[in-house]
A and B are shown apart, each in its own frame.
Chain A
Amino acid sequence: MMQPELRTPTVGIDSSEHAARLMHLWETSSGWKGFFTTVDHKQIGIRYIVTAFVFLALGGVEALLMRVQLAGPNLSLLTPNEYNQLFSTHGMTMIFLYASPILSGFSNYLWPLLLGSRDMAFPRLNALGYWIYLASGLFLYAGFVTGNGPNDGWFNYVPYAARDFNPGLNEDFYALGMVFLGISTTVGAANFIVTAFRTRAPGMSLNRVPILVWGTLTASVANLVVVPAVSLAFFLLWTDRQFGTHFFDSAGGGQPLLWQHLFWIFGHPWVYAIVLPAMGMVSDGLPVFCRRPLVGYSLVALSTVATMIFGFGVWVHHMFATGLPGLGLAFFSGASFAIVVPSAVAVFAWIATIRLGRPVVTTAFLFFASMILLFVIGGVSGFMTASVPVDLQLTDTYFVVAHLHYVLIGINVFPVVGATYFWFPKMTGRFLDEKLGRWNFWTMFIGFNLAFLPMHLTGLLGMPRRVYTYADYGGWGTLNLITSVGSFVFAVGVLLFFVNVIKSLKHGAVAGKNPWDAPTLEWSTSSPPPPYNFAVIPTVASRHPLWEGRLGGDGALSSLDRGMMLDHGKETIGTSALDAVPDMVLEMPADSIAPLLLAVGLSGLFVGLLLKFWALVGIGGAIAALAILAWLWPSTELREREPARG
């Protein structure tokens, strides 16, 4: 029997039989089986979000412990070794296990809804990305809870990370865990790229996608090509430590600075990868509460991409104090100054959107709008350290710590909490509590600034970062006490956020399809959306399909209720890369255990490598290989092969 190779999709409207048919095709089975095999992007997205928030809480507790230790001079609550592991694990947790996965979670959940599609391009790869994230997070934390956490800061410079100076398993846990986590980031990035280019709703040309898509797409392209740098660096560090290679030790002709280059070739684009999607959240969320489209869509989209292009050429500004040639420093300093321009474009676009709109002050609005202020403060302190002579004075002081927290909390945590207030009704069908939300916002905002604004001064007064205790010198004690108090206020604010989420899951006011009267496709389906997202594939005629009536203009209208039915199987539409013209019917895979099996196999492999237990490496590798083979075995359902012949 030959399968038809071509089909004309039926166009129609939703009906109860149609919905029932789609439900049957798309719904994840209930119970444990569904839990372990689901490939639904919404379930996976929520898992990412919940797991990342758990890591945020863990990293926060680590920070509070350090702030107790630093509250006054000459305290000795923590030993130097405990302090080293705490600040390193805090950095690792926040940067690798919170800041990036939380954005992957939101984008995983939202992308197909924003794009008018029924799932990500590679649903099983999506599941794999989550399982590996979870497994590598547990792997890294297994080191920490057994007293073998990283102890050399999150960027882990040699020679201190070398075995001679660091003989325990600490650095091996960190090195292998990071290689493991890199797999998750890479497959996730690949999935976002293909999803953005191939699965948008018909008519959604590239200049009509929400800015969040631009942000995550840009970040994903960067991740795809820079994560290998850090994975390689950590792998080479591991062979230096365990197999006597000489990549980083000068005694064997190695080059210690090679570590810093490989790390920051990854590290600086990564910094943009963990803020650009969050800036996208603001660019999409803020205008909804200003009751008008974003000012300067094209400029903001282009500046997102431009930021990343510059971002590839600024890594050496982390290495100004290493004695590199002056000409090189000048180039990287210039690039670091130039990157301010695309960043400022976004800031001015947001300010203009507020100024030209009619702001409705909600908790989400407060988080989004305050992010602009925090971004400017963090941006200016970054601009200062782009100058080589200034950096030589400030490097490795608390000024840099203040800067990076303004950037990461200001441009990641604040937008993410705002995004939760904004999209929680879509995800759960219920609002977060607005009154508690105000308490949540003001506590976080005041606590954060109380903690980190004075820290600039601490750094200017010369206090070095990463010291476990300090003498009372030049007023450091008072400033540190203020920071410690502020950090606890901030923590209370974050706690209020978690309380609000838990309380509102059950008791929040019921939200309809489009509770904020927002313009984009995710608000055209029910809250929470059905497993198949859209009963019919929408056709998009503008950037704001749900605002077309009121924005004026004489363009054609989007079609949301009538469209391709695609109910012959688990199907969605594939469209061309730039103009989103339908060019194929995509057959989507059913739920599968293969991603979990592959993650389990790889976990065995990495634990085996850590313990040099080669039998476990072999078993884990074999399980992984079998899982990949089963996964890639050509399937007739996905039309990867001809049906049985002869």
Chain B
Amino acid sequence: MVESVISAPVNLPVGPIRRHGIGWWGAGTLIASEGALFAYLLFAYYYTGATAPAGWVLESAPSLKLALPNTLLLLLSSVAAWWGEQGILQGARARALLGFGAAFLLGAVFVAVQLLEWRAKTYGIGTSSYASLYFITTGFHIAHVIVGLVVLIAIFAWTALDYFSARRRLVVSAGVLYWHFVDAVWLFVFTTYYLTPYLGFGR
């Protein structure tokens, strides 16, 4: 006589504990899809550039004067968000608020500098395919940064309301993960638009 098996686990977590919950997977799928979107934007850049006649890039040596410090600023804001998340983990609410607040401010400055960059350009969105790609791709990125800033505000407010503990904090970790993604994807955009012309792409 064969026995039937019955799953009778003991002491299961109820609801999301730490990063352990389906929301974490949900954040992962969102990032996979968004990452793919940026991959196609960059594909559009490289494909159009590779099939265009010489002289396609409008700036053969793009100025790094604003863009490079701005990139560092964005990376720093990722560190700040991580530091804030660690504050939640250690029950240090003030530190968490400081971290998320700093991440928000650094991100907001990044957006402001990006808009300055846009204004300083000698060409507009309709000048050429290169110009269209530049403005739409960086525009997509700015839009993602703005969404990330809203996420940071929400996390900041919920932390201020004392919603989270070291164990119940999946929302925070998912939000911070998204912010890391927004920052990481910028490195690809930055490399493509600001560094590859120096290597000769599209010149």
Contact = CB atoms under 8 A, between A and B. Distances in A.
Interface of A: 3-9, 11, 121-122, 125, 186, 189-190, 193-194, 197-199, 202-203, 224-229, 231-232, 236, 239-240, 243-247, 252-255, 257-258, 261-262, 265, 537, 539, 541, 554-559, 562-564, 574, 581-587, 625, 629, 632, 634, 638-642, 645-646
B33 A255 contact: no
A224 B125 CA distance: 29
18 contacts: A4-B14, A9-B8, A190-B26, A194-B26, A203-B5, A227-B33, A243-B125, A247-B129, A252-B126, A541-B5, A556-B2, A584-B15, A586-B22, A632-B154, A639-B168, A640-B15, A642-B162, A642-B164
Contacts of B125: 243-245
Nearest to B130: A253
Contacts of A226: 36
Nearest to B128: A253
Nearest to A221: B32
Contacts of B29: 189-190, 193-194, 224
Q: How large is the interface on B (under 10, 10 to 19, 20 to 34, 35 or more residues)?
A: 35 or more
Given A253-B129, A558-B4, A639-B15, A245 B33 contact: no
Top-9 shortest CB links A-B: A639-B15, A202-B7, A245-B132, A244-B126, A190-B29, A641-B163, A228-B37, A557-B4, A253-B129
A244 B133 CA distance: 12
Interface stretch (B48-56, B66-74, B102-110, B114-122): B48-56
A243 B127 CA distance: 11
Contacts of A642: 162-165, 168
B195 interface: no
Contacts of A262: 40, 43-44
Nearest to B139: A239
A559 B4 CA distance: 6
B14 A198 contact: no
B14 A7 contact: yes
B12 A8 contact: yes
B186 to A, nearest CB: 18
A641 B126 contact: no
Contacts of B13: 5-6, 583-585
A574 B22 contact: yes
A109 to B, nearest CB: 20
Q: B8, B136, B150: which has the most chain A beta carbons within 10 Å?
A: B8
Contact of A9 (B9, B21, B41, B47): B9
Contacts of B170: 640
Contacts of A585: 12-15
Contacts of B5: 203, 539, 541, 556-559
A6 B171 contact: no
Contacts of A189: 29, 33
B41 A232 contact: yes
Nearest to B17: A5
B197 interface: no
B6 A229 contact: no
A645 B162 contact: yes
A9 B158 CA distance: 31
Given A555-B2, A585-B14, A8 B133 contact: no
In terms of DSSP, what is the predominant structure of the interface of chain A? mixed
Contact of A228 (B11, B17, B33): B33
Contacts of B34: 228
A454 to B, nearest CB: 40
Nearest to B23: A640
B25 interface: yes
B135 to A, nearest CB: 8
Contacts of A125: 26
A328 to B, nearest CB: 12
A172 B6 CA distance: 56
A229 B38 CA distance: 9
B2 A564 contact: no
Nearest to A628: B150
B22 A121 contact: yes
Contacts of A3: 14
B6 to A, nearest CB: 4
Given A224-B32, A252-B128, A585-B12, A641 B158 contact: yes
A254 B11 contact: no
A246 B58 CA distance: 14
B184 interface: no
Contacts of A563: 6-7
Contacts of A247: 44, 48, 129, 132-133, 136
Contacts of B129: 245-247, 252-255
A128 to B, nearest CB: 12
A194 B40 CA distance: 24
A225 B4 contact: no
B10 interface: yes
Contacts of B163: 634, 641-642
A642 B15 CA distance: 11
B155 to A, nearest CB: 10
B130 to A, nearest CB: 7
B25 A564 contact: no
A225 B33 contact: yes
Contact of A254 (B22, B25, B37, B48): B48
B118 to A, nearest CB: 15
Nearest to A10: B8
Contact of A640 (B2, B44, B126, B171): B171
A624 to B, nearest CB: 12
Contact of B36 (A224, A246, A587, A639): A224
Contacts of A224: 29, 32-33, 36
Nearest to A539: B7
A625 B23 CA distance: 19
Contacts of B187: none
B168 A584 contact: no
B12 A6 contact: yes
A165 to B, nearest CB: 18
Contact of B2 (A5, A122, A244, A554): A554
B78 to A, nearest CB: 21
A197 B25 CA distance: 9
A298 to B, nearest CB: 22
B22 A245 contact: no
B40 A228 contact: yes
A584 B24 CA distance: 14
Contacts of A638: 15-16
Given A245-B125, A640-B16, A7 B44 contact: no
Nearest to A246: B129
Contacts of B168: 639-642
A322 to B, nearest CB: 12
A194 B10 CA distance: 24
Given A227-B33, A246-B132, A639-B14, 5 more contacts: A190-B30, A228-B36, A562-B4, A583-B12, A640-B15
Given A193-B29, A247-B129, A265 B171 contact: no
A359 B196 CA distance: 63
Given A121-B22, A253-B130, A634-B163, A562 B6 contact: yes
Nearest to B10: A8
Given A232-B40, A586-B22, A639-B16, A541 B126 contact: no
A595 to B, nearest CB: 14
B47 to A, nearest CB: 6
A445 B30 CA distance: 42
A8 B154 contact: no
Contact of B126 (A193, A246, A629): A246
